[in-house]
Amino acid sequence: MARPFAFFEFFAGGGMARLGLGAGWSCAFANDFDAVKAATYRANFPDAADHFREGDVWKLSADDLPGRADLAWASSPCQDFSLAGARAGLSGGRSSAFFGFWRLMEALDDAGRAPRIIVIENVVGLLTSHGGADFAALGAALGARGYRFGALEIDAASLLPQSRPRVFVIAAREAPAGLTGDSPFQTRAVRAAQAALPAEVAANWIWWRLAAPPARNTDLAALLEPDDAVPWHSPEETARLIDLMGPLHRARLAAVNGRAVGAVFRRTRIEDGRSTQRAEVRFDGLAGCLRTPRGGSSRQSIVMVEGGRVRSRLLSPREAARLMGLPDAYVLPRTTTGAMHVAGDGVAVPVVRWLAGELLEPLLRPAAVMAAE
């Protein structure tokens, strides 16, 4: 049996990238500073004591990282890149954790142990933060260490019933011709970001080829708990939720003919110059993007329309886990807040599996290296 590919996972959370990579990969080192996520990682991976380090990435050194990894995966904190946030960019307090990760990559390179592939996963705002300057700085850092790089924007909706677009920057020192070309994940945002790169940074760009997966065959309703297994809102609570809907979303609700399941997200909109909380419903078989439970409006609701009757309830932690592609055997934190935090701040497992199977693993196989020579 071939040796599994070795990887380091930074900002590992509950280990969703590890689950997505699968049995063909061996985790040599993992790290996260969040106590709830660290406890969840340990609860799900019995070998965590051998390789998991809880704590700030800035307190790690290259000596903490064993051997040479085939892959370094980094899902660094995204708040400062988020389109919904303050857009502090790479200088932001949370996303500056990226530089804690990057200094480790530089130290490994100096020691002759640089990973063959680096994957950086983040929100789509990474492409445009500070007018593209942050993305250019990231590309310059990779190029300075001999990596060529490209980006793919993958929405988890391609594989799961959740709308969750994310950017995956894949950096490697080899770029076999068979793994480059067109991809449906080279979106307009990716192409605009590449076109805005300075010439010296763009010289290291790669258009990674990644095919679209087969059509998704599950929808939101298929992942929900049985009706009698979850608590439902009272009629008064449902009425208050509907009252938060604007005309468009009330019309969507009224247009349902027969039985339908929808997802509802509370958002703050500016109306007549004032911040107004609104409830927005969708009946396209998808949940909205899961978020961490910071603030009172981040947790989604489910609406069930049947025979003219409307019922509503909150999305359960297990349903959120399923929307991330986690198996029901996955151990969630006992508290709802903790469970939603782990699920909402992770990477979708099937997306990682698709990326690994179609691009990362072929890139690491000896045949792929030979094709580049």
pLDDT in tens, 203-243: 999 999 999 999 999 999 999 999 999 999 999 999 999 99
Average pLDDT on 290-307 reads: 80
pLDDT of residue 78: 60
pLDDT of residue 34: 95
Neighbours of 328 (CB within 10 A): 8
pLDDT of residue 367: 42
Map out the domains of the chain as residue ranges: 5-214+345-372, 226-315
Give residues with Cβ within 8 angstroms of 216, minimum separation 6: 157, 158, 159, 160, 161
Identify which has the larger pLDDT, 372 or 128: 128
Neighbours of 353 (CB within 10 A): 18
Identify which has the larger pLDDT, 333 or 90: 333
Residue 134 has pLDDT above 70, yes or no: yes
Residue 13 backbone zone (phi > 0: left; psi -120 to 50: alpha; other: beta): left
Neighbours of 206 (CB within 10 A): 18
Residues 8, 74: Cα–Cα separation, whole Å: 9
Residues 331, 41: Cα–Cα separation, whole Å: 9
Residue 175: what are its φ and ψ, rounded to 5°? Answer: -140, 75
pLDDT of residue 93: 52
Query: pLDDT band at 292, cuts 50/70/90?
Result: confident
93-97, 143-147, 294-298: the lowest-pLDDT one: 294-298
CATH 3.40.50.2300 fits 5-214+345-372, yes or no: no
Residue type at position 162: Q
Give residues with Cβ within 8 angstroms of 51, minimum separation 6: 27, 28, 29, 30
Residues 76, 32: Cα–Cα separation, whole Å: 10
Residue 101 has pLDDT above 70, yes or no: yes
pLDDT of residue 200: 97
Strand partners of residue 155 = 165
Percent of the chain beyond pLDDT 90?
A: 81
Q: Compute the C-alpha angle 194/70/351, nearest 5°.
A: 55
Query: pLDDT band at 1, cuts 50/70/90?
Result: very low
Note the pLDDT tens digit of each residue in 320-369. 999 999 999 999 999 999 999 999 999 999 999 999 999 999 999 864 44
Tokens representing residue 126 in the block: 């990474």
Note the pLDDT tens digit of each residue in 2-12. 669 999 999 99
pLDDT of residue 27: 97
Note the pLDDT tens digit of each residue in 31-85. 999 999 999 999 999 999 999 999 999 999 999 999 999 999 999 876 555 434 4
Percent of the chain beyond pLDDT 70?
A: 91
pLDDT of residue 261: 96
Alpha-helical runs (H) found in the chain: 16-21, 35-44, 48-51, 97-110, 133-144, 188-195, 199-202, 235-243, 247-254, 317-323, 336-344, 349-355, 361-364, 366-372
Counting runs of H as helices and runs of E as strands, what totals does the chain give? 14, 11
Tokens representing residue 189 in the block: 């945002």
Burial class (CB in 10 A: 0-12, 13-18, 19+), 95: buried
